[in-house]
Amino acid sequence: MTTTAPPTTGSTRSPAAHFTLAVLALALGGFAIGTTEFVTMGLLPQIARGVDVSIPQAGHVISAYALGAVVGAPVIAVFGAKLPRRALLVGLMAAYGAFNVLSALATSYGVLFLARFLDGLPHGAYFGVASLVAASLAAPGRAGRAVAAVMLGISVANVVGVPAATWLGQQVGWRSAYVSTAVLSVVAMALILAFVPSLPGDPHATGRKEMTFFRNGQAMLTLLAGAVGFGGLFAVYSYIAPTVTDVGGLPESAVPVFTAGFGLGMVAGTWVAGRLAEWSPFRTLILSGIASFVVMLLVWAVAPFGWALLPVVFLVTATGSVLVVNLQLRLMDVSGEAQTLGAAMNHASLNLANALGAWLGALVIAAGYGYRSPALVGAALSVLGIGVLFWSAHSDARRS
């Protein structure tokens, strides 16, 4: 892993205080990103009405954001590997805020689709660079918990930010949700400048060196496992609003409660993931894939029973968050010299899962199978993800 200089001397704060404040600032950036990524799902019916399209078609703006993250992660990581890491993080947050404003100003489906694609571009690079910064500041043996702490930003967003922005969008209009996330981006920029040490990029990084990542078989299989195995979460989450109202028979006011349930699951799963990572990231990935398969079947079975679905959606994101953190650590482990690109590509993989899950969910709904059917799509994707992980293990054993 690329090493970085310690925080600038001369401060009266202790190293522990430096680390805590820096991680909190990085996590707030994740909070802003998590809020704007997931609030679209909670406001999908309102957005569909606002730009005069069907709910399945509106679901494609979720895929547009995800595809932006897939495209942006490698491009920004390759060209930004040499840049000072704090400056790069601030620039990514600035772009995030600007494209959220563009989303709020969109007057047609086409403009909104483009705005969501652009807003996704900084996503993977931000989490990749933030993870590298947190790991470099952590005490020896604590990199897993440091990365998990950064990821808690996106988890807490789903407990507080997404329900609050969903409620605001229902009361004031869906555009207000994107304005609020633009404001969060500005606050995150200020805190990163204040508390994250000025850390250099990798002076030896080159485009050619970073691109060796794509010739790394273990890295590619890890990405594929994330892109496929994590898709089930998004197949379910993308259509949670109509599932709660149309299938479960609950009012629209119940949707923020369910998005909060997703968020609490993320917080719990991320906390557990940091501990499990110290046992074995790879074995944890296998267990989380099996758990995801079981939970997806539970979603399908329980969805018609209203509030009984709430603890199940908690489990959906709890298992998914365990997967996210351990995928991040495994990629950082197997990326060799392409550290920046390897760390960033985890979220490219997960957003490919976002696009895949939302798209497949839209297909089965549009085909007439109902809002429960994406859960069965999710179960199938979990099985495929487990298969890719076993393929990775077999390939690694043969190489050894």
Domains, the chain, ordered by start? 15-196+206-399 (1.20.1250.20)
pLDDT of residue 148: 80
Residue 247 binned pLDDT confidence (cut-offs 50, 70, 90): very high
Q: How far apart are CA 354 and CA 377, in angstroms?
A: 13
| pLDDT tens figures, 147-160 | 788 888 887 887 88
Residue 2 binned pLDDT confidence (cut-offs 50, 70, 90): very low
Q: Read off the amino acid at residue 309.
A: L
pLDDT of residue 3: 37
Residue 63: which of 40, 86, 32 has the closest Cα? 40
| H/E segment holding residue 332 | helix 310-334
pLDDT of residue 261: 87
* pLDDT over 80 at 274, yes or no: no
pTM for this structure?
0.73
* pLDDT over 60 at 16, yes or no: no
| pLDDT tens figures, 42-67 | 788 899 998 888 888 888 898 889 88
pLDDT of residue 326: 85
Once rounded to an integer, what is the mean pLDDT over residues 199-206?
69
pLDDT of residue 11: 40
Query: CA–CA distance from 48 to each of 227, 326, 366 (Å)?
Result: 26, 35, 15
Q: How far apart are CA 134 and CA 118, in angstroms?
A: 26
Q: What percent of the chain has pLDDT over 70?
A: 92
Q: What is the mean pLDDT of the chain?
A: 84
| pLDDT tens figures, 90-119 | 999 999 999 999 999 998 999 999 999 999
